[in-house]
Amino acid sequence: MSLIVRLRSKWDEWLGNQEIDARATGLESLAVDNVAPERLERTRAGRSFVWGPVNGVTGIAPVAALPTTVAQWTMWNADPYQAMAIDQLGVLLVSGTAAAGIVVLACLFQAPATIGAQVSGMQVTSASGGNHASKALFKSGVTLTQPTTPNWWPVAKSDSANTAVLSVAAENRDLRGGLIVPPGQGLGICVLSGAGTTPLFAPFGMHFEAKLDLE
């Protein structure tokens, strides 16, 4: 059995504000919602965004060796205040025939400051369907200069034998904010795979935005 308690601070009394109803348990502790799904509140607040290719996107061919300073795709955080925490990251085969086996690599970098218009064929949309806008910008073929030798690490893979267009993807749905792109920095993305028959890939994913005290 739970109790409904009414909370009213001295400050509220001075301002003449209304009382606030709060639900307490039978043990007189504040009840916590443990039923709502993960990420519900930040999506409702307009902080979550989904992104990926749309009609007309020009994919990029995979490479067969570890990259050095060129990112096939870049997600640039053009927001001066908010960090972008990645929940999901992957690539989709948008044309051609893929070879079996795909590995997605990522890196964080500081320069160049890729600003301007969104690359054609990529779109960033609010996950709540509202009017909230993100300042995430996608570019292709960006040469990374700071650091001059970025650290690339695997973030997703696919062992699927499928090779047909739009049926091949390598993704990681379990990042859950474990990868953060600070303001004024970029996330470099690169695809490792065999030659196939002119396969071209484009990135997709999900992120949320918040002001963080980054150290």
pTM: 0.81
- Please report the pLDDT score of residue 39 as a whole number: 78
Closest CA to 105 of 153, 170, 175, 59: 153
Instruction: Look at residue 2 in the predicted model and tell me its pLDDT.
Output: 46
Supply angle C-alpha 201, 203, 204, rounded to 5.
Answer: 135
- Per-domain residue ranges of the chain: 48-210
Looking at per-residue pLDDT, the higher value among 112 and 131 belongs to 131
- Of 4-13, 87-96, 176-185, where does mean pLDDT reach its minimum? 4-13
Q: What pLDDT is stored for residue 42 in this prediction?
A: 84
The overall average pLDDT reported for the chain is 85
76, 190 in Cβ contact below 8 A? no
- Residues 76-115: pLDDT tens digits? 999 999 999 999 999 999 999 999 899 999 999 987 755 6
pLDDT of residue 116: 66
What's the average model confidence in pLDDT over 63-88? 93
81: part of which helix (H) or strand (E)? none
Give the β-pairing of 83-97 and 197-210. antiparallel
Residue 165 binned pLDDT confidence (cut-offs 50, 70, 90)? confident
Instruction: Assess whether pLDDT exceeds 50 at residue 4.
Output: no
11-20, 28-37, 111-120, 144-153, range with greatest mean pLDDT: 144-153
**191: closest CA among 181, 182, 200, 183?**
200
Confidence of residue 167 (pLDDT cuts 50, 70, 90): confident
